[in-house]
Chain A
Amino acid sequence: MKQYSDLEYLRLSKGQKFTYKLTSLLAAIPRGIGRFFANIGKGIKNGVVGLGSELKDIGATFAHGDWKTKTSYLVMGFGNLARGQILRGLLFLLFEVVFIVYMIFGGAHWMSMLPSLGKVGPTSEYNAVLDTYTTVYNDNSFKILLYGVLTIFFIIAFIYTWRVNVKQNKIMEQILKSGKKLKADKDDLRSMVDENFHATLLALPMTGILVFTVLPIVFMILVAFTNYDGSHNGYSNNLFTWVGLTNFNTMLSWTGGTGGGQSYSATFGEILAWTLIWAFLATFTNYFLGMGVAMMINKKGIRLKKVWRTILVMTIAIPQFISLLYVSKMFARNGLINLSLMDLGWIKQPLPFWEDATWARVTVVLINIWIGIPHLMLITTGILMNIPADLYESARIDGANAWQQYRKITLPYMLFITGPYLLTSFTGNMNNFNVIYLLTGGAPTNPAASGAAGSVGYTDLLITWLFKITTGADSQYYLASVVGIMVFVVVAFISLVVYNVLPSIKNEEDYQ
């Protein structure tokens, strides 16, 4: 593709500019993807090289180290203790003891069960005392997978700590050799509120994220490779086990789904398409209309600015489930709008707001505008007021009308500043569970997709479908997990492309 310089670009006609922009945007996509894979490759290479030098350093430290250092390879923290850093030494030692005890009394067991996810399911055994058969629960696949993952985390943490322990010995030896003094325990404690204050502050939040977000996500990714569902709950009915890529095959296969309905891939494709359309509409209708409202309120000469703003802001405060549920019922077949219109005699039949696919989709987007505009109004107000007033002043002197001012000053400025916000808002809308679920619950039902797990409707997003799969009759957690991974892939792909393309768009915006 031909690259234009700034001057050449300015000389192009409007149509040429547009095609140029479009082609350069499209051309940037493969480049972005290429960059992504190049980065992954680079990462792997750096990882391998880094590992090599780490191993070399570990060996060298052992070879050149004194007996205190060498003992530390087995007894963590020994070097610290022997050299007077009691606090650090005790912590290292404690961690090692805890790790060993955990591995002996559980970790090893969970790890050994991980490849099979349990061997013996619940059995029925004769109970001589009660003269009946009672169910005896044996292995628990769920716990095996959960604690297996936890154990792997623990092992990684141990290896890392061990490495730190070795490195510390090396550093201590260097310090002592150069004749300086080691840090005392008092200094270590003080550093927790001083140079290492960040570690103190991050300890609690990161532990929470690790246990309640990272661990569950790793777990759920692994579930996509098992047959965990309602009838294989891994404990009280059947164990679940690894099934490889079967679930991905099911989701992407072109053959019919269960019950002879539409194939999963067709259902998935339809829902994905609607999810993207929805995210696009929801983001940009809100964005432009919200900006419009903000500009109206901001306009010079409009009075009662605070009142208008407060009215809109007030609607943010009301919990969404109230407003969404209420509005949802208002548009229902026997809801306020239909009933009053029929009472007035304007319509004979109730309008199919939630019964017809197109009606439902349009209504959802419209109500989302109602929900979203106050937010966008707030966000854009601040930015609009930041646009230098002299830009407009000079534009007016040059004879630009209001529309031209908007096109050439306001919009580029807004897009420039809110670019990242638009991206997060797009991906946020893709996962906008509340609006869809509380308004329609996914309705109206898509009869063609009846074979897929959960009941699929025309307004279902991937995220509401995921929820329906897990709460549906069969609770096909493995499929929900596959859908979740797909959502991640789509979101990550879009973010990646946009992030890589964004700067080029911005630069072009600059010289308009």
Chain B
Amino acid sequence: MENKRHMGLRTLNRVSNTAIYVLLIIISIVWLIPFIFIVLQSFRVESTYQVGYVIPHQWGWDNYIKLWNSDFKRWYLNTFIIALAAAVFVTVIQLCMSYTLSRFRFKLRGPLMRFMLILGMFPGMLTMIILYRVLSDLGLTQANAVPGLILVSVASSGMGYYVSKGFFDTIPKSLDEAARVDGATRAQVLYKIILPLSKPIVIYTILTAFMGPWGDYVFARYVAMGTSAGYNVAVGMYSWLTNDQIARMYTTFCAGGVIVAVPVTILFLCLQKYYVEGVTGGAVKG
């Protein structure tokens, strides 16, 4: 009797596990298929518009050559510069902010955090209009969009301190106190004790800051205002999918997508561990 019930459970378990494997395989396919399609279509030579099949009849590098001869190089370089600058400055600013709010108890701390919470409830898009006018007064729009975009994306980045603050909160304060007793200044505590322990969150911040600009569309479009030299990849490639362009540029878009996605994805997969740590830690702390 006992044995029979045991067997029943085991079969049940096996059935449910099989069902789960089937589901997971379906999920993996659904999630990966669009990307596989992009890669396949980027090699299609016979036509440049959307068709009802996926595997090209004629394979070739035509779309990549077309890409090389277009403004895409410029867009890619623009985005890369912005991403690099953001990775450096955003990281510094966000870590300053989150470390301070996690470690120091000063009079304005509470009001400051509440203030930023309220500030974050305003749609960021609202500020675009004025920032655009200011940037254009400074001459940082259209062809000069890159420095303008860097400035704007870096300047307000302190607002996104939540995730890294959550991380700093988990480092025991007794470490700081021990160092302080030994006569270290607070700055020394940061450089000598906290930073070496914070590798995961530093890498997480750099990674997200670097990846952000690759998908930045709205403000980039606003600032470039139709000047191709100031586009980033998102704005430029979006212009290929408008109704009058898509028939000529669809497969080129796919090729561009591959060129943009591959390096970012490889970088991301290498640093996946840190990303996962950051995301999970940040969400639990809220």
Contact = CB atoms under 8 A, between A and B. Distances in A.
B54 interface: yes
Interface string B106-126: 100000000010110111111
B65 interface: no
A433 B125 contact: yes
Q: How large is the interface on A (under 10, 10 to 19, 20 to 34, 35 or more residues)?
A: 35 or more
A204 B93 contact: yes
B17 interface: yes
A310 B129 contact: no
B13 A197 contact: no
A487 interface: yes
Contacts, number: 255
A421 B268 CA distance: 24
B269 A321 contact: no
A484 interface: yes
Interface residues of B, number: 91
A167 to B, nearest CB: 13
A488 B129 CA distance: 17
Given A301-B13, A310-B269, A427-B121, A209 B159 contact: yes
A315 B31 contact: yes
A213 B257 contact: no
Interface in A208-256: 208-209, 211-217, 219-220, 223
Given A217-B119, A466-B126, A374 B54 contact: no
A391 B155 CA distance: 47
Contacts of A223: 129
Q: Is the interface of A mostly helix, strand, loop or mixed?
A: helix
B268 A317 contact: yes
Interface string B1-38: 00000000000010001001101100110111011011
A197 B35 contact: no
Interface stretch (B70-78, B139-147, B197-205, B246-254): B246-254
B81 interface: no
Contacts of B100: 198, 201-202
B99 to A, nearest CB: 7
Nearest to B234: A321
A342 B126 CA distance: 43
A146 B131 CA distance: 11
A349 interface: no
Given A202-B100, A378-B280, A381-B280, A488 B31 contact: no
A322 B260 contact: yes
B227 interface: no
A334 interface: yes
Nearest to B212: A319
Contact of A379 (B35, B268, B279): B279
Contact of A481 (B27, B126, B217, B254): B126
Given A314-B265, A316-B268, A318-B35, A484 B17 contact: no
B96 interface: yes
Nearest to A466: B125
B60 interface: no
A510 interface: no
Nearest to A421: B283
Nearest to B222: A471
Contacts of B267: 317
A206 B93 CA distance: 9
A317 B211 contact: yes
Contacts of A421: 283, 286
A131 B261 CA distance: 59
Given A319-B215, A484-B123, A325 B154 contact: no
Contacts of A308: 24, 27-28
A332 interface: yes
Contact of A204 (B21, B35, B96, B156): B96
Given A319-B234, A320-B215, A321-B237, A212 B126 contact: no
B137 to A, nearest CB: 8
A349 to B, nearest CB: 14
Given A198-B106, A319-B261, A378 B276 contact: yes
A202 B23 CA distance: 49
Nearest to B286: A420
B88 to A, nearest CB: 13
A214 B34 CA distance: 41
A190 B35 contact: no
A212 B93 CA distance: 14
Contact of A312 (B31, B52, B158): B31
Interface in A402-449: 417-421, 424, 427, 431, 433-434, 437-438
B214 interface: yes
B192 interface: no
A467 B218 contact: yes
5 contacts: A317-B267, A339-B52, A340-B52, A375-B279, A487-B122
The 9 closest A-B pairs by CB, nearest first: A339-B52, A382-B280, A205-B158, A420-B286, A317-B268, A216-B127, A193-B187, A212-B155, A208-B155
Given A198-B104, A302-B21, 16 more contacts: A197-B104, A201-B99, A205-B93, A209-B119, A217-B127, A220-B130, A308-B28, A311-B28, A339-B50, A375-B279, A383-B284, A431-B124, A466-B125, A480-B126, A480-B129, A488-B122
